[in-house]
Amino acid sequence: MGVVASAPAKVILFGEHFVVYGEPAIVLAIDKRAYAKAEIREDKRLFLRSQNLNLAGFFDNGNFKVEEGNPKEARIKLEPLKCAVEKVLEMAKEKVGLNIEVNSTVPVAAGLGSSAAVASAVAAAVGALLNVKMSRENVFRIAFEAEKIMHGTPSGVDPAISTFGGTLLFQMDTGFKPIDVKMDIPLVIGNTGVERSTRVQVAKVRSLRDKYPQIIESMMHTAREIVLRAVEALKGGDLETLGELMTINHALLYGLGVSDESLEWLINAARKAGALGVKLTGAGGGGCMIAIANTDRLEKVLEAVQRAGGNAFIARKTDEGVRIEPS
């Protein structure tokens, strides 16, 4: 008998990059999910497969044997999931073999938090399979550990949103605060298809900050002000103000040098099609852009982004975080 768990992807509505320096960011869980199925094996080995990445292999006493895909890539991409599984096994005080199959509807390496959603789903599925009493807090911590293997020093935003769902205000020193959002937030997400490294983009901003500390400092201050205004707009159901603030936020990110041609192409198309606000989401340098629009313009914006070469879809916020799927 297997157990399937799922966890949502996310978009950063406001504050990416600035969040690294202690400024607040707003993160939203969206209705695209990653799924993980866990089953007990007869032997003591751990078998992991990612359907999306076409990667699979066995972990056995510290050794890795590839079954599908490039051995080096398979090990790097599957290692964080092994970490998540091992943390749950420690909690269960059990040594069992497991088959873990991962399947995600979330584009990979696009800044939508696919790796964290997968890690949260894996932790929840293994926990449920082994009857471990896992709080959401446990799932979050385990997914966070897995993310450290993947990204070095992640902020914790991705595992938090994929575990808890909803809309979160995040700040390095104070952690997460849920924002009570009653309104629907209709988004068009456009994927440039350009894979990018978060580390490279973060390093780019850091060197700019070292070079022009006063200038970047005032941009940080502006970014904070945008987030605080956006929290009010979200609580008040004011889509128009939200859109304007997104556009200003994007201008700041553009100024930091983290947008690129592939993103600008899609962003301009969405603006021309009547979006209320458009910006890149995540690290930039490729990846995804998001546009917010009134429901009657949503399809038009979607088509415009697709025509401009983006792989685009409509998404909405979801309040549901990690969950066990009915069998």
End-to-end CA separation in angstroms for the chain:
9
Contact residues for 155 (Cβ-Cβ < 8 A; gap 6+): 19, 20, 170, 172
CATH number given to 3-180: 3.30.230.10
Q: Does the pLDDT value for residue 148 go beyond 90?
A: no
Q: What pLDDT was estimated at residue 242?
A: 97
Q: How far apart are CA 123 and CA 14, in angstroms?
A: 28
- Give the closest residue to 225 by CA, choosing from 14, 11, 12, 13: 14
Q: What pLDDT was estimated at residue 149?
A: 82
Q: How far apart are CA 318 and CA 28, in angstroms?
A: 8
Q: Does the pLDDT value for residue 233 go beyond 80?
A: yes
Percent of the chain clearing pLDDT 70 (strictly above): 99
Query: Once rounded to an integer, what is the mean pLDDT over residues 103-118?
Result: 85
Q: What pLDDT was estimated at residue 61?
A: 84
Query: What are the start and end residues of each CATH 3.30.230.10 domain in the chain?
Result: 3-180
Q: Are 78 and 66 in contact (CB under 8 A)?
A: no
3-class SS of residue 34? strand
- Give the closest residue to 282 by CA, choosing from 253, 311, 241: 253
Q: How far apart are CA 103 and CA 14, in angstroms?
A: 28
Q: Are 26 and 230 in contact (CB under 8 A)?
A: yes
Q: What pLDDT was estimated at residue 1?
A: 78
Query: What are the start and end residues of each CATH 3.30.70.890 domain in the chain?
Result: 187-315
Residue 98 confidence class, pLDDT cut points 50, 70, 90: very high
Q: Does the pLDDT value for residue 88 go beyond 80?
A: yes
3-class SS of residue 196? coil
pTM confidence score: 0.90
Sign of the CA dihedral running 219, 224, 227, 233: negative
Task: Look over the chain and give the mean of its residue pLDDT values, rounded to a whole number.
Answer: 93
Q: What pLDDT was estimated at residue 70?
A: 93
Q: What pLDDT was estimated at residue 228?
A: 97
Q: What pLDDT was estimated at residue 327?
A: 79
DSSP 8-class letter at 317: B
Query: Once rounded to an integer, what is the mean pLDDT over residues 139-167?
Result: 87
Q: How far apart are CA 4 and CA 292, in angstroms?
A: 32
DSSP 8-class letter at 62: T
Contact residues for 110 (Cβ-Cβ < 8 A; gap 6+): 191, 195, 282, 287, 288
318: its two tokens: 């979801």
pLDDT in tens, 185-207: 999 999 999 987 777 898 999 99
Q: Does the pLDDT value for residue 302 go beyond 90?
A: yes
Q: What pLDDT was estimated at residue 110?
A: 75
Amino acid at 275: A
Q: Are 314 and 302 in contact (CB under 8 A)?
A: yes
Percent of the chain clearing pLDDT 90 (strictly above): 82
Pick the CATH number of 187-315 from 3.30.70.260, 3.40.190.80, 3.30.70.890, 4.10.91.20: 3.30.70.890
3-class SS of residue 146? helix
Tell me the residue ranges of DSSP E strands in the chain.
3-14, 25-40, 46-50, 55-60, 63-68, 98-104, 167-171, 175-178, 187-191, 277-281, 288-292, 311-315, 323-324
Query: Once rounded to an integer, what is the mean pLDDT over residues 246-274?
Result: 97
Q: How far apart are CA 327 and CA 312, in angstroms?
A: 31
The alpha carbon of residue 87 and the mean position of all alpha carbons in its chain are separated, in whole angstroms, by 21
Q: What pLDDT was estimated at residue 196?
A: 79
Would you call 158 a catalytic residue per the annotation? Answer: yes
DSSP 8-class letter at 44: S
Query: Once rounded to an integer, what is the mean pLDDT over residues 49-65?
Result: 92
Query: Once rounded to an integer, what is the mean pLDDT over residues 148-170?
Result: 86
Query: Once rounded to an integer, what is the mean pLDDT over residues 110-133?
Result: 92
Determine which one of 31, 43, 158, 319 is catalytic.
Answer: 158
Tokens 């964080």 correspond to 80
More confident residue, 196 or 35: 35
Cα 236–238–244 angle (5° rounding)? Answer: 135
Number of H helices, E strands in the chain: 9, 13
